[in-house]
């Protein structure tokens, strides 16, 4: 796993996503041998609780935090702990638990301050989605199709509204592999837009920009077992 840390940095810096669309084919598992595909699917499955005795292997979500007073984007890097990540081999789904609302609302502008604060005060969420491997040699790279998160009847600014946080889909920067006999997985998600009562109210990331806009919209999940 000598190259894993380098790959991690590449994902975190948001220098671009891998172009895998042409490789993805649900009928033939992206050209991957079916038995090999099933082996990796079985290997990645299960729950990742992290190793709290070693900070390097704690489960974390990394993100850029604009509330940090700094001159450069790299100095605004922040993280949260306390998450668990699980993968199911039966339906190729993943789940990330204990995700705080402040993370999902971090790119909501001051124009919607009351909404941002209401999401921040709401109960923690579980992020869910599907994944599909497109390369296994020897690391397993996968595309991610995250589900939106909806807050039903969220109270703010004197009323209640259904508020949905949507992610850009698909992303192509999921990776699974081994380091020091530990299984490690990274998942990159990108906040795309906020919908209020089924109407788009806020644009965050449109899938085109490869610079600061993309970096600010990214949340990078890393988990270990």
- For 62-95, letters b (16+ CB in 10 Å) and e give bbbbeeeeeeeeeebbeebeebbbbbeeeebebe
Q: How many helical (H) and strand (E) elements, i.e. helices and strands, does the chain have?
A: 5, 13
Residue 129's contacts (CB-CB under 8 Å, 6 or more residues apart) are 93, 94, 144, 145, 146, 147, 167, 169
For residue 84, pLDDT over 80 is answered with yes
Query: In which band, very low, low, confident or very high, does the pLDDT at 200 lie, cut at 50, 70 and 90?
Result: very high
Q: Which 3 state secondary structure label does DSSP give 120?
A: helix
What is the structure's pLDDT at 77? 86
For residue 11, is it left (φ>0), alpha (ψ between -120 and 50) or beta?
Answer: alpha
Tokens at 189, concatenated: 């998600």
**Which uninterrupted H or E stretch holds 200?**
strand 199-203
More confident residue, 16 or 116: 116
Structure pTM? 0.84
**Per-residue pLDDT tens for 94-104?**
999 999 999 99
What is the structure's pLDDT at 113? 97
The mean of the pLDDT values for the chain is 87
Q: What is the CA radius of gyration of the chain?
A: 18
**Per-residue pLDDT tens for 120-162?**
999 999 999 999 999 998 899 999 999 999 999 999 999 999 9
What is the structure's pLDDT at 88? 98
- Strand partners for 190: 218
Query: In which band, very low, low, confident or very high, does the pLDDT at 28 lie, cut at 50, 70 and 90?
Result: low
For residue 48, pLDDT over 70 is answered with yes
Residue 224's contacts (CB-CB under 8 Å, 6 or more residues apart) are 48, 50, 51, 57, 58, 59, 182, 183, 184, 185
Distance CA 89, CA 46 (A): 8
pLDDT above 70 coverage of the chain, percent: 87
């Amino acid at each position: 796993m000598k190259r894993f840390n380098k790959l991690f940095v590449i994902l975190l810096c948001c220098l671009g996503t891998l172009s895998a669309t042409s490789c993805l084919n649900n009928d033939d598992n992206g050209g991957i041998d079916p038995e090999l595909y099933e082996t990796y699917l079985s290997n990645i499955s299960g729950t990742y609780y992290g190793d709290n005795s070693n900070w390097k292997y704690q489960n974390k979500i990394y993100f850029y935090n604009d509330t940090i007073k700094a001159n450069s984007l790299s100095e605004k890097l922040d993280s949260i702990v306390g998450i668990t990540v699980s993968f199911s081999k039966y339906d190729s789904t993943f789940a990330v638990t204990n995700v705080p609302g402040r993370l999902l609302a971090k790119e909501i502008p001051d124009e919607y301050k009351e909404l941002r604060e209401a999401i921040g005060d709401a109960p923690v969420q579980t992020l869910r989605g599907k994944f599909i491997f497109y390369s296994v040699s020897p690391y397993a790279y996968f595309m991610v199709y995250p589900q939106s998160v909806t807050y039903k009847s969220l109270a703010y600014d004197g009323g209640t509204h259904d508020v949905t946080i949507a992610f850009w889909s698909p992303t192509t920067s999921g990776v699974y592999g081994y380091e020091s006999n530990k299984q490690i997985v990274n998942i990159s998600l990108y906040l795309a837009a906020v919908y209020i009562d089924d109407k788009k109210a806020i644009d965050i990331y449109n899938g085109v920009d490869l610079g600061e806009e993309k970096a600010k919209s990214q949340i990078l999940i890393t988990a270990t077992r």
